[in-house]
Each structure stands twice: as structure tokens, then as C-alpha cells.
Chains A and B, each alone.
Chain A
Amino acid sequence: GAGVSQSPSNKVTEKGKDVELRCDPISGHTALYWYRQSLGQGLEFLIYFQGNSAPDKSGLPSDRFSAERTGGSVSTLTIQRTQQEDSAVYLCASSQRQTGYGEKLFFGSGTQLSVL
């Protein structure tokens, strides 16, 4: 596909369940980000993958959150024992890194997570 693809687009789950969110970045993009957007809130950085480097996990809010990126392409964000405050839109973005310059990010449409 031409853009960043995220699945599912909507996920409703019960409190305490685990969820997995998937992101397929644009082919060839080495950088991949996960952000969280809560109602009325800005974009909260979660985690950043760049090539084969160790990911920047500084934005993960708790140890219930984890993410991996297999083969430098597809990424999965996992939330264990979901809580109601985890309800938000989870956005994935990718970019083709340009050394020395800023990056233009291409965003997916997001996964709307609702924890009941």
C-alpha cells in the first residue's frame, strides 16, 4: 500500500484484557513512531524505532505497554491488563530518515481503543 496502515481501526475491550495494535509502515521507511492521542489532549509520544538501533522507549507510560518491530518493518504495540485510562487513539507514523534534516512523518489513520 501507499500509506501507513493500522489495524484494527477500532477496538473495544474489557478492563484487564490484553490488546495488540498493528502498524504497517511505508515500505523502505526506517523510522517508526507510536503516539497516543486522548480526547482533548495533544499527541503523546510513546516509542520510536530507528533502523536497527535500540528503540527509544522513554514515552511508554507504564510497564503494561510494550512494542516491537520485526524485521525492521511491521510493528506491534501491546497493552497488557488494559485500564479505562488507556482509552485513546493510538497513532503510528513512519518516515524515511534524512540525515541532518528534520523528518516528514506519514501518519496512519489510527486505532481507536475503548476500554470498558
Chain B
Amino acid sequence: GDSVTQMEGPVTLSEEAFLTINCTYTATGYPSLFWYVQYPGEGLQLLLKATKADDKGSNKGFEATYRKETTSFHLEKGSVQVSDSAVYFCALYRDKLSFGAGTTVTVRA
């Protein structure tokens, strides 16, 4: 069945550092791919998405590119802030939305 594998955390880094969270997927056909974020004390919310190969999703300085050849959708941000501390979930949609295990990111001032 469809599945998402994401980089295990937790990840701790300093402000202005470069962040990458790896995500790979297994699915037949052409799923849509998402990153959701859960800030402390808040509910999950959509961060960005890509619906076809080579699409790049972007929001709040984060980017992820749908790579069909490597079945990946890695999340990147060039310069993180303390406010980016959250749990990040990679997700795949084909006939339902399936999430990865989540990666906890802590950014220190």
C-alpha cells in the first residue's frame, strides 16, 4: 500500500541554519504530496503541497520539490527562525491522505 517515510528526529539547530527534512514515498500512480506542520499548542495545518512531478511547493520560506525519479519530497528552508520550531509531517494523497511519522524540529536562538 501507499506509505510515507520521513527522516527521524528530533532535529535541533541554531537560528539562521539550513534545514532539510527528508521524505520519500511509496505509491502507485501519481500521488499528490504535502507537508503539514503542527506548532506547539496548535492544530495541524497545511504548509505546502505539490500535485505533479517537478512541481515545487513553497510557503513561509519553506520549499519542497516533487521528484518522481527519486520518489522524494524533501522539505528545505534556507534560514530557520525560532518560530519554525514545530513538528513537520510529510503526507501523500492518492485515494486517502497518509502521513509520515513526523519530525520534531527545535530551533535555538
Contacts and interface: CB of A to CB of B under 8 A. Distances in A.
A interface residue count range (under 10 / 10 to 19 / 20 to 34 / 35 or more): 10 to 19
Nearest to A104: B46
B91 to A, nearest CB: 8
Contact of B44 (A41, A101, A103, A107): A107
Interface string A94-116: 00000001111101111000000
Contacts of B34: 102
A105 to B, nearest CB: 6
A101 B97 contact: no
B interface residue count range (under 10 / 10 to 19 / 20 to 34 / 35 or more): 20 to 34
A44 to B, nearest CB: 8
Contact of A107 (B32, B43, B51): B43
Nearest to B100: A42
Interface in B83-106: 89, 93, 95-102
Given A45-B98, A109-B43, 9 more contacts: A41-B101, A42-B89, A45-B96, A45-B97, A56-B96, A101-B51, A102-B34, A102-B97, A108-B43
